[in-house]
């Protein structure tokens, strides 16, 4: 598991309060129960701790948790 994938999962479960069971790398954001509040928490943590800015419009409910981590990693690399 990549470090960013671990950060995304931990943020969604520990800081956004989502139940851990559905938040798996292969789950879509919809399946994992990622709502606008969870996105807001994730966006705040990523910006504050990692300098990555994401918005709800950057994400699709059909994207997986792993897709989200890859998106963030690419965004980080592009802005490094």
Whole-model pTM: value is 0.87
What 3 state SS string does the chain have? CCHHHHHHHHHHHHHCCCCCCCCCCCCECCCCCCCHHHHHHHHHHHHHHHCCCCCHHHCCCCCEHHHHHHHHHHHHHHCC
Query: Per residue in 19-65, pLDDT tens?
Result: 999 999 999 988 999 888 888 898 899 889 888 888 777 777 778 99
Q: What is the pLDDT of residue 76?
A: 83
Of the pLDDT bands very low, low, confident and very high (cuts 50, 70, 90), residue 2 is very high
């Amino acid at each position: 598991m990549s470090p960013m994938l671990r950060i995304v999962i931990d943020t969604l479960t520990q800081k956004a309060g989502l139940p851990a069971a559905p938040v798996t790398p292969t789950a879509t954001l919809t399946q994992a129960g990622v709502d606008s509040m969870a996105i807001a928490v994730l966006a705040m943590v990523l910006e504050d701790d990692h300098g990555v800015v994401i918005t709800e419009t950057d994400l699709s409910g059909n994207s997986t948790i792993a897709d989200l981590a890859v998106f963030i990693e690419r965004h980080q690399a592009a802005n490094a």
